[in-house]
A and B are shown apart, each in its own frame.
Chain A
Amino acid sequence: MLVIKDLHAKIDDKEILRGINLEIKPGEVHAIMGPNGSGKSTLSSVLAGNEKFEVSEGSVTFNDKDLLDLAPEDRAREGLFLSFQYPVEIPGVSMVNFMRTAINEHRKYNELTPYTASEFLKLMREKKKLVEIDSNLTNRSVNEGFSGGEKKKNEIFQMAMLEPKLAILDETDSGLDIDALRVVANGVNKLKTPENSTIVITHYQRLLDHIVPDFVHVLYKGRIVKSAGKELALELEEKGYDWIKKEFED
């Protein structure tokens, strides 16, 4: 589904991604871990199409399409979803209005008829239940006045509504207490299908106890330096990142 080949990206002339290679097949969960500054968030921003970053080399294919050639909104409509590490607030724009416009844009792009108001509200009710998010969050303006945990839950709710093919969860666990973590992880797990895939970006093992990865990659100084199964995460939890840094010092 996603093939990243030798991806280099920089911001303000500083190169952050220095040759990423990664392949993700449908139904897989990949965890990306690594010390601060390794380029984890940059990777998710570049995949989502944030123009702050310039891709200097490499290619990314998403469902046989050249991802780097698409505008961010088209990448989204193709089925790419980013759960932001710091979701921004959009005062005055109601969640309902926002989601309905987003979903209908997706549907239009994929040549499906847009939902009517009642169809949409039904969908909202379903998904709210699925990811255990309560009405007071969805009745408000997008993220306005939400706590950190509420913002993360809202990201998962939007993911449930949009049903992406590839979801990138950028440090979804940061700022969450144990219960919130459980709710968020449950939501993600409920949305998993054999056709869609997830990239989980995280520092910590504990999220991976709930969202079990098929592959774990370590990102260090802009490159994926180690890939293995879920035991790698446990090893990192025990030993930290020093042994990785020593091994791959550049």
Chain B
Amino acid sequence: MAEDQDKILEEVTGGEYKYGFYTDIEMEEFPKGLSEDTVRMISARKNEPEFMLEFRLKAFRHWLTMKQPDWAQLNIPEIDFQDIIYYAVPKKKPELESMDDVDPDLRATFEKLGIPLDEQKVLAGVAGVAVDAVIDSVSVKTTYKETLAEKGIIFCSISEAVQEYPDLVKKYLGSVVPHGDNFFAALNAAVFSDGSFVYIPKGVRCPMELSTYFRINAMNTGQFERTLIVAEDDSYVSYLEGCTAPQRDENQLHAAIVEIITMERAEVKYSTVQNWYPGDKDGIGGIYNFVTKRAICKGDYSKVMWTQVETGSAVTWKYPSCILQGDHSVGEFYSVAVTNNHQQADTGTKMIHLGKNTRSLIVSKGVSAGKSQNSYRGLVKVSKKAENARNFSQCDSLLLGDKCGAHTFPYLEIANNSAKVEHEATTSKIGEDQIFYCNQRGLSTEDAVGLIVNGYVKEVINQLPMEFAVEAQKLLQISLEGSVG
């Protein structure tokens, strides 16, 4: 009987990565390797002002003194940092005023991925979604800029922000994740090429979803994006990040940084649907997704919500976090991490309670299949002065099959005894009886598992903006194809 179950599991988890295609575009690439010269070249290529070059050099010099951390529950071979290309841009990149200016191959790529670069396309009858399309760490097109500019909202690539809004960038870049924070943060600060910059002025509620779509295309390159979101008092923005990459035999490194700052009563909702190439059935290839994402809820009553659906990458290593500095500030983290075949994930969050009456909520759902390893690592830290902090954490693991692993590493550092911290954890399997019940109602085993897994992760998926909830559900189905749906 166990063998039959395995057979079913095998069939259902054996699906293919739909986004594995490669687009042949003329690229300009630096030679492999990283030295101070590389950093200078990157800055020069982008025509950056002096302060940016200084920022990079400081970070690079610090990076040279650091060692790659190895405390995670991850099995990663040695990364040769000299064997990576640190800058690759599509050759044809003029100032893009209209869709017609975008390289046709690039347009085709994004069409194939279903990403609306065309401002006329309206998603499901809702106001359009502004998109910043980033391919190989270079922002290709950002839509709706004028519409947003009317409200004073800035949504552009970081490269552009460095040129057009240097004061804002100087003030906030690196303020949440300084280059000394960790090994990959230092690397990113030195060689980041692009990402999105969002600025919401006081009292403005951003009228549409903002979204950045990251696509890795070139071979042997590392991807170092940097996103910075600043929300002034009483502002609101919902931001979505999507990612895919071609199917390759070599691993590619993706070390990104996302910084969010919220002022008084501001609210930022940051959602990620990550589908980097996960490697093949035997664990060959796949993206190393090492990301530092952090929000500082600076202002009183401010709120940041992280929602992530991680289905791709060979190795995922990230802890979107909130520093709850303002009184009454709120941090929320909703995560679905799916691992299959030989994927590994060590992900979770850090909620640092500094202000008074702060609240945090953590809902983490791990789904493991195949031979994968899925770990939740979470820190709830309540500092001495943080009066009346409240936290609720729920970590659930669902195991499909008997060769995968789920691990939970909750850390609670409480230095104030008025804090109320709750933690719940469950581990479960999909029962054969449940599958048979669905079969008897006419559902294939694949559909049954899809339904059950979707039910399991519903609480998290419901946090995503509507348009992306549908995409995420489909993605879950695809990621688990072959693992029993």
> B-contacting residues of A (Cβ < 8 Å)?
48-52, 71-73, 75-77, 81-82, 84, 87-94, 97-98, 101-103, 105-106, 109, 141, 158, 162
Contacts and interface: CB of A to CB of B under 8 A. Distances in A.
Contact of B458 (A82, A92, A106): A92
B447 interface: yes
A244 B439 CA distance: 36
B440 A48 contact: yes
Contacts of A50: 436
Contacts of B447: 101, 105
SS class, residues of chain B in contact with chain A: helix
A127 B431 CA distance: 29
Contacts of A92: 452, 454-456, 458
23 contacts: A49-B439, A51-B1, A71-B439, A72-B436, A73-B440, A73-B442, A73-B444, A75-B440, A76-B439, A76-B440, A88-B431, A88-B434, A90-B434, A90-B451, A90-B452, A90-B455, A92-B455, A93-B452, A98-B441, A102-B438, A102-B441, A105-B444, A141-B455
A133 to B, nearest CB: 16
Given A72-B436, A88-B433, A90-B434, A162 B441 contact: yes
A90 to B, nearest CB: 5
B443 A101 contact: yes
Nearest to A71: B439
Contacts of B456: 91-92
A131 to B, nearest CB: 16
B51 interface: no
Leading 5 A-B pairs by shortest Cβ distance: A92-B455, A72-B439, A93-B455, A76-B442, A102-B441
B437 interface: yes
Given A73-B444, A93-B452, A51 B4 contact: yes
Interface residues of B, number: 22
Given A73-B445, A94-B455, A109-B442, 5 more contacts: A49-B439, A82-B440, A88-B434, A102-B442, A103-B442
Interface string B418-441: 000000000000010110111111
Contacts of B437: 84, 87-88, 90
Contacts of B452: 90, 92-93
Contacts of A48: 436, 440
A76 B441 contact: yes
A81 B437 CA distance: 11
Contact of B455 (A49, A81, A82, A91): A91
A162 B431 CA distance: 24
B193 to A, nearest CB: 41
